[in-house]
Amino acid sequence: MFYDEAKVYVKGGDGGDGSVAFRREKFVEHGGPAGGDGGNGGDVVLYVDPHRNTLYQFSKRRHFKAEDGQHGRGKKQKGSSGDDIRVGVPPGTIIRDAETDELLGDLTEEGQEMVVAQGGRGGKGNARFATSTNQAPRVAEHGEPGEERWLQLELKLLADVGLVGMPNAGKSTLLASTTSAQPKIAAYPFTTLQPNLGVVVLDPQTEFVMADIPGLIEGASQGKGLGHEFLRHIERTQVLVHLLNGLAADPVAEFEAINQELREFGHGLIDKPQLVALNKMDLPEVEEKWPQIQETIEERGYPVMAISALAKENTRELLYRAAQMLEEAPEEEAAEETIPVFRLEEERPFSVERLAEDVFRVHGTRIERLASMTVWNLDESVRRFQHAMERMGVTEALREAGVEPGDTVIIGEKEFIWEE
């Protein structure tokens, strides 16, 4: 099985709690606040690992959580930050939010990395809240929870040239005879159940990566056969080598059927430069077909060659022609939607939702974060939260929504009873 998709859960480490403490020194009657801040939680980072070529590792482990930050201590000692967790993915991995399908990043080159779940900020200790009018504050913050989400990972092979064609056209044989790849080869349909990569080295200056894509059939773009699952791997190739089975009853009809699948799948596949090759020319019956097939394919505007992958006839010339087309192919512009690093969502303004006659929920990144970081058994922390609600306009918005004394107000994971 070729592991080219995976769904994983990632969570940044929670921030450590801030501390409430006061100096206790000999001969110092009234020590000042000395509670330290909590440490920041670690991040979950995906990075390109060039030694990986599938997403197999995620079939064994799907949950990744970074280390939490340590709590603050007295004497203004800040808690240590949690360690990041770094997860290697193969080049060509696309990362999306599993719930929204939003594209987060596209990791294609060694050295690229992205933060997919940020660790929470450490809570402030009471030493940070001292002012000229409140010199002994008894207020601190809990650490901010780390970001968490489910990710959908998708691998698209990074190859320069893609081999396409019907099952039994001889793609695996061509790949095996021209590279060091060792794909499974047999005389029955769908021998290739997964894409295979090989490096073609023609001379010190000419080399490229070639991918054998599993055979396509009519209806592949709608999910029939093996095509739909692997068509996306052709998207990153710059040139297609379209191999025709010389023993087929009508090689030209198969050529047109494959191109129709590429056209229906979209993503610009039909517009890629295409080099057509009639395979199995070592057989007399195929040699007889060649003149008519050559004329027909050239009339459609495609370059065409005759080869025998098994006998290695004209294969080197075919690859040199593919290398030439690769040099002449226009460079594809990076997709506008792909981004190399993770970007946090902009904090949305809060909103008030009435869930029932006497139940209200307040949505909003900032207010939910503040609720989770408030230490509710400290009176000063509670008053600080209430003042923040008033400054942000949450209190007024709840009144306008019709909240009454005794009603329940939900903010994040916290529930409150409304009192005037």
Give the percent of the chain with pLDDT over 90: 44
Residue 335 lies inside a defined structural domain of this protein: no
The answer on 197 and 79 residing in a single domain is no
Q: Is residue 32 part of a domain?
A: yes
Domain annotation covers residue 336:
no
Residues 31 and 120 in one domain: yes
Q: Does residue 45 contact residue 85 with C-beta atoms inside 8 Å?
A: yes
Please check whether residues 37 and 95 belong to one and the same domain.
yes
Q: Which two tokens stand for residue 24?
A: 């206790």
More confident residue, 329 or 283: 283
For residue 271, tell me if it sits in a domain.
yes
CB 67 within 8 A of CB 80: no
pLDDT at 14: 95
Confidence of residue 113 (pLDDT cuts 50, 70, 90): very high
Q: Let me know whether 9 and 106 are in one domain.
A: yes
Output the pLDDT for position 72: 94
pLDDT tens string 135-189: 888 899 999 999 999 999 988 766 788 888 887 777 778 877 776 544 343 344 4
Confidence of residue 332 (pLDDT cuts 50, 70, 90): low
Pair type for strands 148-155 and 85-89 = unpaired
Task: Choose the final residue of a domain: 328, 362, 391.
Answer: 328
The H or E element containing residue 85 is: strand 85-89
Average pLDDT of the residues in 342-368: 79
pTM value surpassing 0.85: no
- For the residues of 363-387, what is the DSSP string, one character each? E-HHHHHHHHHB-TTSHHHHHHHHH
Q: How far is CA 249 from CA 118, 162, 255, 302, in A?
A: 58, 24, 12, 21
Q: How confident is the model at residue 3 (pLDDT cuts 50, 70, 90)?
A: low
- Alpha-carbon distance values, 230 to 55, 217, 289, 314 (Å): 15, 12, 31, 28
Q: 35 and 139 in one domain?
A: yes
pLDDT number for residue 358? 92
100 and 169 inside one domain: no
Tokens of 20: 């409430």
CA angle 197, 150, 79 (to 5 degrees): 110
Q: What 3-state class would DSSP assign to 364?
A: coil
Q: Is the dihedral of CA 176, 182, 183, 188 positive or negative?
A: positive
Mean pLDDT, the chain, integer: 83
Highest mean pLDDT among 32-36, 232-236, 263-267: 32-36
- 333 inside domain: no
Is residue 185 within 8 A of residue 192, CB to CB? The reply is no
Instruction: Say which CATH number the domain at 355 has.
Output: 3.30.300.350
Q: Is the pLDDT of residue 28 over 70?
A: no
Domain edge (last residue) among 110, 130, 155: 155
Residue 82 has pLDDT above 90, yes or no: yes
6 plus 42 within the same structural domain: yes
Asked, for residue 341, whether it belongs to a domain, the answer is: no
Q: How confident is the model at residue 344 (pLDDT cuts 50, 70, 90)?
A: very low
Domain identity same for 198 and 316: yes
**Within this chain, do residues 183 and 118 fall inside the same structural domain, yes or no?**
no
pLDDT category at 346 given cuts 50, 70, 90 is very low
Say if residue 240 is in the same domain as residue 380.
no
Taking residues 87-95, what's their average pLDDT? 89
- Predicted confidence at residue 345, as pLDDT, reads 47
Rg (Cα) of the chain, in Å, rounded?
A: 31
Domain that holds residue 83: 1-155
pLDDT at 333: 53
Which 3 state secondary structure label does DSSP give 388? helix
Residue with the two structure tokens 């992205």:
114
What is the CATH number for 51?
2.70.210.12
- φ/ψ of 37, rounded to 5, equals -80, 155
Does 151 lie in the same domain as 168? no
78 within 8 A of 143, measured Cβ to Cβ: no
Based on the fold, state whether residues 51 and 67 are members of the same structural domain: yes
Residue 375, phi-psi category: left (phi > 0), alpha (psi -120 to 50), beta (remainder) = beta
pLDDT of 68 > 70? The answer is yes
Write the pLDDT tens digit of every residue in 378-410. 888 899 999 999 998 999 999 999 999 999 999
Q: How many domains does the chain have?
A: 3
Please name the helix (run of DSSP H) or strand (run of DSSP E) that holds residue 318, with its range, or none: helix 315-328
Chain segment 240-276, per-residue pLDDT in tens: 999 999 888 899 998 998 888 888 877 788 888 999 9
pLDDT of 187: 44
Of residues 312 and 171, more confidence is placed in: 312
Choose one of 155, 175, 210: the last residue of a domain: 155
Does residue 34 fall inside a structural domain? yes
